[in-house]
Amino acid sequence: MNNLDKKRFMELMAMLEENFSEDKPISKQRVAVYFEHLKPYDIFDVEKAFHKTIGTRVYPSFPKVAEIIQAIENTEDIEIKAMEAWNQANKELPMMCLVERGGDDVSFNPLSESIILAFGSWENFSATDPNDDRYERKRFIDSYKIITKKEHKERLLDAKKPRQLT
C-alpha cells in the first residue's frame, strides 16, 4: 500500500470498527499502526483480508494486525498444504530418487524445493527413518512454509512491477 491507498484503508478500518468496536471509536494511532504494518501488502489483498476477517472471526473484540496478516498470507492454509505436500513427497519418493539417480533435472516446485532445503536431496530424504518421522516431517513443513512464503513475496513484487505496453 502507499499514501494513495489511505482513503480506502480508512474506509476499511471503519468497516472493521462497525463490526468489532461499535461502541468505541478506533484511535488515529491504531489506524496508523495498522497501516504501517500492512503497508507491504497490496490494498486489494488487505481488503480481501478485512472481508475474510469479518466473515470468519467469531470473537467480538477488534482483530489484531497479526490476524489480518494471517488472513492475507493464508497461514492456516499453508499448514494444511504443507501436510498435503508431505504426503505427496512420500508418494513421489521412489520415482524422484530414480529421476535424481538418472541425472535428470528435478522440476523445481515448492515440494521439491522443500525436500532439497530440508534434506539436501530426494536421496537423503529416502534415508530418513519412517519410525521417527515427526522430526523429519517438522523439518519438511518448516521448509515448505519458507519456500511458499518466499514465492508469495515474489508474486507480490512481480505484481507491483510496472508493465510494459507491447
Whether residues 69 and 109 fall in one domain:
no
Confirm whether pTM is higher than 0.75: no
- Asked, for residue 121, whether it belongs to a domain, the answer is yes
**Model pLDDT, residue 163:** 47
pLDDT (tens digit per residue) in 22-68: 788 899 999 999 999 999 888 988 999 999 999 988 888 899 999 99
| 165 domain residue, yes or no | no
Residue 140 domain-assigned (yes or no)? yes
Residue 148 lies in a domain: yes
Task: Give CA–CA dist 37/6, Å, rounded.
Answer: 13
Q: Is 132 part of any domain?
A: yes
User: Are 49 and 95 in the same domain?
Assistant: no
Interval 96-153: pLDDT, tens = 766 666 655 555 566 677 777 788 877 788 887 766 778 888 888 888 878 777 765 6
For residues 112 and 43, state if they share a domain. no
- Please give the torsion angle defined by the CA atoms of residues 66, 35, 142 and 95, in that order, rounded to the nearest 10 degrees: 120
Q: Is 129 exposed, middle or buried, given 0-12, 13-18 or 19+ CB atoms closer than 10 A? A: exposed
Cα(147)–Cα(160) distance, integer angstroms: 20
Is residue 64 located within the same domain as residue 114?
A: no
Q: How much is the pLDDT for 11? A: 95
Last residue of a domain, one of 15, 45, 73: 73
Do 12 and 27 sit in the same domain of this protein? yes
- Is 166 inside a domain boundary? no
Q: Which of 23, 54, 73 is the last residue of a domain?
A: 73
CA distance 138 to 118: 10
Q: Which domain holds residue 62?
A: 3-73
Would residue 114 count as lying in a domain?
Answer: yes
The verdict on 63 and 85 lying in the same domain is no
Do 81 and 69 belong together in one domain? no
Number of domains into which the chain is organized: 2
CA 138 vs CA 75, 142, 144, 145: distances in Å = 16, 6, 10, 11
